Structure 1
């Protein structure tokens, strides 16, 4: 496996890093987080024009990337800068499912997503589902030429800003069955859809989505009835690659801020970073960083592999990143002292992003159990 970036990916990384360094500082992000929408339309449009969203789709889907390393390159840079705009939810998850399963009319929305003109959200998780992707209780019943959807979707990131929701619902089987789950592309303003939004701790916004007799035509279904689970699992794997790459970028920022602080703050006439005890702790962080980077590369490199290899490597990476990320976040704060907790300082946001990333798409314990189960299968 060649770990070197291709010329195109290197160019994308350099362009994105330069843009975010110039346009996305701490004050700008804090202003975005405090805004009613929790995102910047200007930043979103400019990044779309740079081709960032297009890099998350394959050439067949209208983009120019879409592979594991394309996703990792983009999200590592987004994580390094602490970007809160919903690229993962619009492009990797909801948009990716439309690109994977949609008919020609539905796939036309992908071009709008890539151009920055369309926002989406993936309404899948439910109050009782925890991290189990197949625990879907939301129901979809055929009524003539229409389908009627009822249920409650929890923590739907970007739901308030979304033009369309990709909603999972069960057409047959029982909660916990892989078979019987379908996906539906539903305009967010459809009658019966109620969105109750709130801010997320690490930036951005999510919502509880209530579905009360939501009536859509059967043409709103993505793919075949009851056969959506494999596509959902594959897209969540891609989202996990994006998440661990984003966390890696955030960890790099945290360690850099910590190193700079240790070499700037002085006690007894010399930088505190020269004290042996603190130097050892900093060395531990750098070692964890290298392990984390290897895990991200491994997960990204296996994203197009068969299911067992893909899911095993994704769960291994998510488990390691959760443990390493918590260590980096906690030690960075401790080595900084009180300044690390102030909103105006970059590390305060970055540390929250690292810790909260472990709780999306499955935490360390969940993925450890999952890795063991996959190995035993």
Structure 2
């Protein structure tokens, strides 16, 4: 199998990495991080000008027609730079619902706005007590005329404080953990009854607590089947996991490079610490973990559009488990090699480790996915 990038993909990779290197250094990121918004509107415009927001959408919907490989390239580059902008929330999560669950009319209305950078999206699903279970939904949706009325609360909504529209899961029937009876609704973030409280997460990315008090939405706000929206949610989340794995590879790669540079210049007993065999072994362990993460990410990327939900889920379970394990190894070794400076806010390596930790937690940590993979019979249950 050929894993080489096409000419167009190579141009995308080089152009984006050059943009991030020129305009998104660690000091600049710290300035953006300290701002009220917590992300850069200027960089958001650059992303739009490069066509990143239009990348995964079909050409007939106003996009560029890229696929999971292009998404992988972008997410890895954003991971290397520890980008703070709402690309993942808008294009991967929100865009996933548009692509996979939107009608022709809904795509025609919303995709061009996302593609030009005019519309920011978020996905509000997590609730208190839900942990990693996508079927745990207590927020309610009640039929009202031709539309719906939503009530409930969502937690840790990635970039929920800056989103213009928010995809919300709500239950129209059944008990809290029933898989049926869950719908997906696109809610205007400024609608009456919507309240938001934004704050920075552990990795610096903005998140929000969102409350919905009798929020009225029209029938056109429903995406997919309102009585059976969980398969759509799982498909979007599976594609999001593949994208997160690519971001993690970028974060780990940058962490490793930063650590190698430090080993060359930091001296102890009059010699660079990179000459110590024990630290060389740690650096090699980091490299092996990165290459394993890269391989499983390529597999997850190829499986992101797999129509068989079971096969796709097993691939994402395996990828997320490996990414969580590898990310922790890389992060811990990097901080250990750096010593005390690795724990400071003024140095980049700690920020990389924080992002790896948050990627591990997002949509299920390594233990959760390893357990789910075992319950599913392993990655290749029919191999025997």
Shorter-chain TM-score: which interval?
A: over 0.9
Given the two structures, how large is their TM-score scaled by the length of structure 2?
0.95
| Alpha carbons 1:196, 1:208 under 8 Å: kept | yes
| Alpha carbons 1:264, 1:271 under 8 Å: kept | yes
Once the two structures are superposed, what CA deviation does each residue of 1:247-283 show, in whole Å capped at 9, x if it has no partner? 1100001100111111112234432111111111111
> 1:171, 1:203 → 2: CA distance?
35
1:227 positional shift:
2.2
1:296 positional shift:
0.6
> 2:318, 2:243 → 1: CA distance?
14
Instruction: Output the aligned Cα RMSD.
Output: 1.5
| Alpha carbons 2:154, 2:209 under 8 Å: kept | yes
Once structures 1 and 2 are overlaid, which stretch shifts more, 265-274 or 17-26?
A: 265-274
Q: How does 1:12-27 map to 2 (within 5 A)?
A: 12-27=12-27
> 2:272, 2:340 → 1: CA distance?
18
Match of 1:44 in 2: 44
Alignment of 1:67 onto 2:64:
no
Once structures 1 and 2 are overlaid, which stretch shifts more, 140-149 or 219-228?
A: 219-228
> 1:43, 1:267 → 2: CA distance?
40
| Alpha carbons 1:186, 1:220 under 8 Å: kept | yes
> 2:168, 2:66 → 1: CA distance?
22
| Alpha carbons 1:26, 1:344 under 8 Å: kept | no
Match of 1:333 among 327, 332, 335: 335
| Alpha carbons 1:318, 1:358 under 8 Å: kept | yes
1:65 positional shift:
4.1
Match of 1:359 among 358, 361, 374: 361
1:324 positional shift:
0.8
Once structures 1 and 2 are overlaid, which stretch shifts more, 134-143 or 56-65?
A: 56-65
Alignment of 1:315 onto 2:321:
no
> 1:11, 1:264 → 2: CA distance?
33
| Alpha carbons 1:63, 1:114 under 8 Å: kept | yes
Q: How many residues align?
A: 377
Alignment of 1:277 onto 2:278:
yes
> 2:264, 2:58 → 1: CA distance?
44
Once structures 1 and 2 are overlaid, which stretch shifts more, 1-10 or 257-266?
A: 1-10
Segments of 5+ residues of structure 1 without an aligned counterpart are none
Once the two structures are superposed, what CA deviation does each residue of 1:177-206 show, in whole Å capped at 9, x if it has no partner? 222111111111111111111111102211
Match of 1:99 in 2: 99
Once the two structures are superposed, what CA deviation does each residue of 1:146-197 show, in whole Å capped at 9, x if it has no partner? 3111111111111111111111111122222222111111111111111111
Match of 1:10 in 2: 10
> 2:377, 2:70 → 1: CA distance?
27
SS at match of 1:54: coil
> 1:222, 1:307 → 2: CA distance?
19
Given the two structures, how large is their TM-score scaled by the length of structure 1?
0.96
| Alpha carbons 1:343, 1:349 under 8 Å: kept | yes
> 1:162, 1:129 → 2: CA distance?
23
Comparing both chains, which one has the higher relative contact order based on Cα–Cα distances under 8 Å and sequence gaps of 6 or more? 1
Once structures 1 and 2 are overlaid, which stretch shifts more, 301-310 or 204-213?
A: 301-310
> 1:292, 1:2 → 2: CA distance?
18
Match of 1:372 in 2: 374
Match of 1:35 in 2: 35
Match of 1:220 in 2: 221
1:66 positional shift:
4.4
> 1:336, 1:147 → 2: CA distance?
54
1:342 positional shift:
2.4
Match of 1:291 in 2: 292
| Alpha carbons 1:71, 1:241 under 8 Å: kept | no
| Alpha carbons 1:202, 1:353 under 8 Å: kept | yes
1:105 positional shift:
4.0
1:113 positional shift:
0.7
Segments of 5+ residues of structure 2 without an aligned counterpart are none
Match of 1:144 in 2: 145
| Alpha carbons 1:57, 1:96 under 8 Å: kept | no
1:31 positional shift:
1.2
> 2:28, 2:154 → 1: CA distance?
31
1:60 positional shift:
4.5
SS at match of 1:14: helix
